Amino acid sequence: MPRIVSARKPRNLMYTLKRLFSYMGRHGFSLIAVALLVVISVVCNLAGTYMISPVIDSLVDGGGRQALVEGVLFTAVIYVIGVLAALGYSQIMAYASQKVVYDIRIDLFDHMQSLPLKYFDTHQHGDVMSYYTNDVDTISDALNNSFAAVIKNGIQIAGTMTMLLVLNWRLSLIVALSYIAMFMYVRHSARRSKQYYRKQQTSIGALDGYVQEMVAGQKVIKVFNHEKRNLEGFDERNAHLQAMGSAAQAYASTMIPAVVSISFLTYTIVSLCGGFMVLSDLTSLGALASYLVFVRQAAAPINQFTQQSNFLLSSLAGAERIFELVDMPQEVDEGTVTLKRTAEGWAWQDGDESIPLKGDVRFEDVTFSYEPGHPVLKNVSLYAKPGQKIAFVGSTGAGKTTMTNLINRFYDVDEGRITFDGIDVRRIRKRDLRSSLGMVLQDTHLFTGTIRENIRYGRLDATDEDVARAARIANADSFIRRLPDGYDTMVVSDGANLSSGQRQLLAIARAAVADPPVLILDEATSNIDTRTEDLIEKGMDHLMEGRTVFVIAHRLSTVRNADAIMVLEGGKIMERGDHDDLVAQRGRYYKLYTGMFELQ
């Protein structure tokens, strides 16, 4: 999304500034150096320009060649220092600003990793992405371009004003008046254009949404010959955006010409008045000449100061958003029970007590809601003995996924408790709890990298042989071998080069390499052909051997093999039992089984 500068202003300016400064504070030396060098560069610039006056005056007063050479040489020294200082601060700033942005990005990402799943479930990806694409970017731009410029122009304005006052205080009153006029104009016009910018943002949003939807649905549009109608809809939104944007810009771009013209008017008035002062012997010709150069020079920093502080303000709005995220509470982990690998296998370490990991999971009277007042699970109790397969069946929104979200503590129960080998899951350290649970999700997400690396994601220290063994367990080995580069085939853009069935096989392999005692499976509903489905089914069967398994089932074969089937509806377990029991009951399950109900 394009970002419009004046549309955003930070709410808590001082706090954000302080935070931003604390980042720069980590590079304390460079920050001080930059500030110092900026001051030196500005002072040299001013002093050099000031030197014009005595040098010229010395000519008029008959100082001769000697005085001229001395004056020029002296000015040259000042200028050299000035250039060196400018070189120094711009280079230091280029490094320091990138370092700050680098740190901010790391903090942002690290913090993001520690946020609870709820955050990701309630925020759109595009929104979160814009922290990186928009907000960090504006900070980087502002630090690169605006930070030094604002200091520089600020000092320059103050310095120029002082110089002007020293040189000729009477004329400086006129200049000050004109500065005030400029400032008022800029403020007024910024406010006017801000209203239009806001409208522009809204119409950009509307166009964006339309384009997003229509481009995604392009194939349907073609099938229905809908191109023309669709273009009309686009034109309408496009024209609206054009009108709003051009109105906003028309205001915004009057700013610079207006400021420039005001400064010229000032220039005129000042030279006229100055002329009269020379006539009345209130000042010298040389002083007036150098004074006028200062007046000319003064307009530029004011102009830049307004522009750059606008940039800086908008970047502070970005910084504020980032700090808000960084300040968000992390996923809490009060667990103390850890998971240890002992000679006999896995064991829970609860203080001094060691409990062997068996895979016994119980829900005791669990109630849960994502939003207060809308319970998704109501007083659910169930009991999975080690090695049992529990299948969840039910329509969308019945609470199947929620059940699995609670076991691995993506979310915490509101009432009741869930125990793992008799230990309340809230007492177990999250990392250990999750490591003991394998998950195969409905949508398999693959990462950029090779097939091997993607399987190894399940256990980072797995050897190539472990990976291959896991792939064989998952029945994925044969298709991987047939790929152009076998296990070293690169996965591109979330596995677009693999079919959904193949991706699922990889997800199974990934879980197999992790070798967890408890498995949570979410069967894919997507269109997978019978043969691949067969492979997946066998792979899953291998994987499930000897483990406690919770499976969100979409296939009859899966439920048939389950030790217990839970039919969920409206957050309650309506029926439970094995396949034969439930068919005999002639209830909901029976209807599902015979295809009289539709799922999803």
Partner 1 sequence: MKRIAQLFHLFGDYRRDLVIAALLVFVETCFELIIPTMMADLIDNGVAYADVEYMFLKGGQMALCAILALATGLTYARFAARAAYGWGANIRRAEYAGIQSYAFSNIDRYETSSLVTRLTSDVTVMQNAINNGLRPLVRAPVMCALGVFFSFTMNPELALVFLVITPLLGIVLFLIVRSVAPMYSRLQKTVDDLNGVVEENLRAVRTVKAFVRDEYEESKFEKVDKTLYHTATRTNSRAVLNLPMFQMAMYICVLCLMFFGGMMVLDGTLLVGQLTGFLSYVMQVLNSMMMLSNVFLLLTRSVASADRICQVLDEVPSLEERENPVRTVKDGGIVFDHVSFRYSEKAKENTLTDISLDIRPGSTLGILGGTGSGKSTLVQLIDRLYDVSEGRITVGGVDVRDYSLQTLRDAVAMVLQKNLLFSGTVRDNLRWGDEEADDETLWKACGMAGAAEFLHRFPAGLDTDLGQGGVNVSGGQKQRLCIARALLKKPKVLILDDSTSAVDTATEASIRNALDRLDGVTKIFIAQRISTVMGADLIAILDDGHLVATGTHDELIATSPIYQEIYRSQTKGGVL
Using CB under 8 A, pick the residue from 102, 169, 370, 383 that binds partner 1. 102
How far apart are alpha carbons 154 and 430 in whole angstroms?
A: 52
CB burial of 474-500 (b: ≥16 within 10 Å; e: otherwise) equals: bbbbebbeeeeeebebebeeebeebeb
Using CB under 8 A, pick the residue from 10, 159, 245, 318 that binds partner 1. 245
Residue range at the interface with partner 1 (CB under 8 A); choices 61-69, 343-351, 378-386, 541-549:
61-69
Cα angle 45, 49, 53; round to 5: 155
Q: Return the number of the residue (299 or 377) whose C-beta is nearest partner 1.
A: 299
* Nearest Cα to Cα of residue 414 among 570, 188, 571: 571
How far apart are alpha carbons 469 and 501 in whole angstroms?
A: 19
CB of 11 to partner 1, least distance (A): 25
Using CB under 8 A, pick the residue from 36, 117, 158, 184 that binds partner 1. 117
Confirm or reject binding of residue 349 to partner 1 (CB under 8 A). no
Confirm or reject binding of residue 91 to partner 1 (CB under 8 A). yes
Q: Which 547-586 residues touch partner 1, going by CB under 8 A?
A: 553-557, 559
> Could you write out the three-class secondary structure of 237-276?
HHHHHHHHHHHHHHHHCCHHHHHHHHHHHHHHHHHHHHHH
Confirm or reject binding of residue 106 to partner 1 (CB under 8 A). yes
Confirm or reject binding of residue 209 to partner 1 (CB under 8 A). yes
The β-bridge partners of 356 are: 347
Confirm or reject binding of residue 68 to partner 1 (CB under 8 A). yes
The amino acid at residue 173 is L
CB of 588 to partner 1, least distance (A): 12
Do residues 483 and 489 touch, judged by C-beta distance below 8 A?
yes
Tokens of 569: 């509806």
Q: Return the number of the residue (228 or 343) whose C-beta is nearest partner 1.
A: 228
How far apart are alpha carbons 279 and 408 in whole angstroms?
A: 89
Confirm or reject binding of residue 241 to partner 1 (CB under 8 A). yes
Q: Which 123-182 residues touch partner 1, going by CB under 8 A?
A: 125, 128-129, 132-133, 140, 144
DSSP state of 343: T
DSSP state of 408: T
Q: Return the number of the residue (105 or 417) whose C-beta is nearest partner 1.
A: 105
Angle between helices 148-167 and 28-60 (to 10 degrees): 30
Confirm or reject binding of residue 36 to partner 1 (CB under 8 A). no
Q: Return the number of the residue (121 or 353) whose C-beta is nearest partner 1.
A: 121
Q: Which 435-494 residues touch partner 1, going by CB under 8 A?
A: 435, 437-439, 441, 445-448, 457-458, 460, 493-494
Residue recorded with tokens 């104009």: 185
Confirm or reject binding of residue 500 to partner 1 (CB under 8 A). yes
CB of 385 to partner 1, least distance (A): 23
CB of 261 to partner 1, least distance (A): 4
Burial class (CB in 10 A: 0-12, 13-18, 19+), 153: buried
CB of 97 to partner 1, least distance (A): 8
The amino acid at residue 558 is T
Using CB under 8 A, pick the residue from 24, 150, 155, 204 that binds partner 1. 204
Q: Per-residue x/- mask for partner 1, residues 519 to 538, rule CB under 8 A?
A: ------x-xxxxxx-x--x-
Please list, in sequence order, all residues whose beta carbon lies within 8 angstroms of the beta carbon of residue 396, skipping any fewer than 6 positions away: 599, 600
Please list, in sequence order, all residues whose beta carbon lies within 8 angstroms of the beta carbon of residue 44, skipping any fewer than 6 positions away: 78, 79, 81, 82, 85
Using CB under 8 A, pick the residue from 43, 181, 278, 583 that binds partner 1. 278
CB of 15 to partner 1, least distance (A): 25
Residue range at the interface with partner 1 (CB under 8 A); choices 15-23, 258-266, 370-378, 418-426:
258-266
CB of 12 to partner 1, least distance (A): 26
Q: Which 399-428 residues touch partner 1, going by CB under 8 A?
A: 408, 410
Write the Ramachandran bin of 414: left for phi over 0, alpha for psi from -120 to 50, otherwise beta: alpha
Q: Return the number of the residue (125 or 374) whose C-beta is nearest partner 1.
A: 125
Residue range at the interface with partner 1 (CB under 8 A); choices 8-16, 216-224, 340-348, 538-546:
216-224
CB of 14 to partner 1, least distance (A): 28
Confirm or reject binding of residue 224 to partner 1 (CB under 8 A). yes
The DSSP secondary structure of 472-528, one letter per residue, reads: HHTT-HHHHHHSTTGGGPEE-GGGTTS-HHHHHHHHHHHHHHH--SEEEEE---S--
Residue recorded with tokens 């980087």: 140
Residue range at the interface with partner 1 (CB under 8 A); choices 8-16, 68-76, 354-362, 465-473:
68-76
